[in-house]
Amino acid sequence: MSFVNPIFAIASGALGVGLLRAAWARRGGGRWLTAAGWLVLLGGVLLWHVTGMAWDKATAAAMLGPSVVAFVLLVPQTEWRSRGVNVTRTRLLAASDAGAASPFGRGIARTVVAGPIALAAALGVTAAFALRMPWLEANRLVTAGLLLPVAWAAGAIWATMDPKLVRVAIALLATALIGALGATL
């Protein structure tokens, strides 16, 4: 088995993510970088397919690898900010003395709500969907499998965008509970 094609496929994923990151850093000035980044990522699909993978698995491998690379590149650059970007140190200290959450604490809370809590809500909805829809079993399972990432992404986006995090957390937890009850009853 040759390791050349998988190495090129992984490298194309890293290069594609790098080009997209450079385009993102230019804030609209890197349209050719955006196009090049997506073309390189699509080239990775072809390279994974040449290694012997079916097209569906090649597409999944070509998109999953760059996602991991992007995660590794972007997480160290993440800044946790409060709604007021120009918060002084004295205001932060006063807020922490008053029992309010720090910007870092709110960032951690958002991460928890957008990650595992949104996933629990998505799992509850898709489990109820997969077990209770009046369709053939294969159709229910496939539809639920396709619905899961969309529902999780919707919950995660809502958790990162809504300024009222408590409202989002309560709604997602209620959705998870109702979905789980709907699936088991």
Concatenated DSSP letters of 43-55: HHHHHHHHTT--H
Distance CA 129, CA 123 (A): 10
Q: Which of 24, 47, 77 is the last residue of a domain?
A: 77
3 state SS of 33: helix
Same domain for 110 and 167?
Answer: yes
> The whole model's pTM is what?
0.51
Residue 86 lies in a domain: no
| Residue 179 and residue 128 in one domain | yes
Asked if the structure places residue 87 within a domain, the reply is: no
Shared domain for 71 and 113, answered yes or no, is: no
pLDDT for 74 equals: 62
Token couple for 60: 């999944």
Cα–Cα distance measured from residue 96 to residue 111, given in angstroms and rounded to the nearest whole number: 20
- Residue 39 sits in the same domain as residue 73: yes
pLDDT of residue 93: 43
The answer to whether residues 59 and 27 belong to one domain is yes
**pLDDT at site 184:** 87
82 within a domain of the structure (yes/no): no
Q: What was the pLDDT predicted at 83?
A: 53
Is residue 69 domain-shared with residue 103, that is, in the same domain?
no
Domain count, the chain: 2
Do 65 and 108 fall within a single domain?
no
- Indicate whether 58 and 105 sit together in one domain: no
Task: Say if residues 95 and 119 touch (Cβ distance below 8 Å).
Answer: no
In a domain, 94, yes or no: no
Distance, CA of 43 to CA of 65 (rounded, Å): 13
The predicted pLDDT at position 170 comes to 96
In this structure, is residue 89 part of a structural domain?
no
Domain that holds residue 58: 4-77
Residue 84 placed within a domain: no
70 and 104: one domain? Answer: no
Of 23, 45, 77, the last residue of a domain is: 77
**Splitting the chain (185 residues) into consecutive groups of 10 residues, what average pLDDT does each group show?**
72 82 77 88 86 82 71 63 48 45 80 92 93 90 89 89 92 95 88
In a domain, 149, yes or no: yes
- Which among 77, 112, 137 is the end of a domain? 77
In a shared domain, residues 70 and 108: no
* pLDDT value for 2: 65
**Could you tell me if 66 and 125 lie in one domain?**
no
The single residue listed with the structure tokens 């290694």 is: 51
